[in-house]
Amino acid sequence: MDVQLIGAASDLGVSVDGSRNAPQILLANASVPSEIISADPEAVKSHAADDMRKNEAELNDLNSRLYRRLVSAKLHGAFPILVGGDHACAIPSVLSSEKAYGRIGVMWIDAHADFNTFRTTETGNIHGMPLACAAGYECEDLRGFHDGGTVDPSNVCIVGARSIDREEKENLRKAGVTVYSTEDLRSGDIREIIEKAFTVCLNGTGSVHVSFDLDVIDPVFAPGVSVPAADGINTEEAISVIDAVTERIDDICSFDLVELNPLRDKDRMTERTASEILEKMISAAAGK
């Protein structure tokens, strides 16, 4: 397939600065052509602790541009890979696949559940809401650009979670989302967990959007993220996850790689792992 890399140069979804620089770094040496779509350079980022809808308008502007670009690529038969930026860019990434391909599932590989809403958020950071938004759980204001349905929460599976807020947990339970924890990944067979996740995501759907947040990896091995969560999987385990995922490339319609924060990285450890994951996905998708 025609693989296209689209960078989302933005860290408007998170108070910690730096992930907006990730696409430029990751796409510079990638093996296929790329294009970077950036947040409005005039946007003045809100970091205010009491702002519970941080950079909402600016993010919606960026996400609607990403959405149009991604829908067009997908309708023309390409396989775009979205490289963040913070995880808020996954809203147009998931919803553009729903628009182009119809009913899909979502596999969300992440230390966090990203299932907060404006009602339950403790920080106002929108990168904690994209999965709830894509699954149609509140967050209507974040998908005004989308002309179509949302993903059925029964086809959503989170893999590698270990940091979930109390009310967020309640959201997940009410919505009916399947969650496999970091502990599940570590104590079982990684391949088996990924197979189970595909079963959830493919029940009644045509294909799966996979979203990979680098913070699923332990910060000892991948310190270059904005919101690190201790006790994660190691790099080798993360590669096993991505190998199990890419083996099922025929069931995958789209992919994101997000949350590299070059300002927090040490000796480019996280960047190197991110590049390895990206190249594995590019070569799998190219062979589709």
Binding residues for Mn ion (CB under 5 A)? 87, 110, 114, 213
Distance in Å, CB of 259 to Mn ion, minimum: 6
Q: Considering beta carbons, is residue 87 or 99 the nearer one to Mn ion?
A: 87
Cα–Cα distance for residue pair 233/171, rounded to 1 Å: 25
- Cα dihedral 288→111→70→54 (10° resolution): 180
Q: Which is nearer to Mn ion, 98 or 110 (CB)?
A: 110
Q: Cβ 174 to Mn ion, closest distance in Å?
A: 20
User: What b/e sequence results for 53-74 when a residue is b if at least 16 CB atoms lie within 10 Å of its CB, and e otherwise?
Assistant: ebbbebbbbbbbbbbebbbebb
Closer CB to Mn ion, 110 or 237, in the complex: 110
Of 117, 151, 116, the closest CA to residue 134 belongs to 151
Least distance to Mn ion, CB of residue 117, Å: 15
Nearer to Mn ion by C-beta: 5 or 91?
Answer: 91
Question: What is the three-class DSSP state of 156?
Answer: strand
Query: Minimum CB separation from Mn ion for residue 159, in Å?
Result: 12
Helix or strand holding residue 108 (H, E): strand 104-109
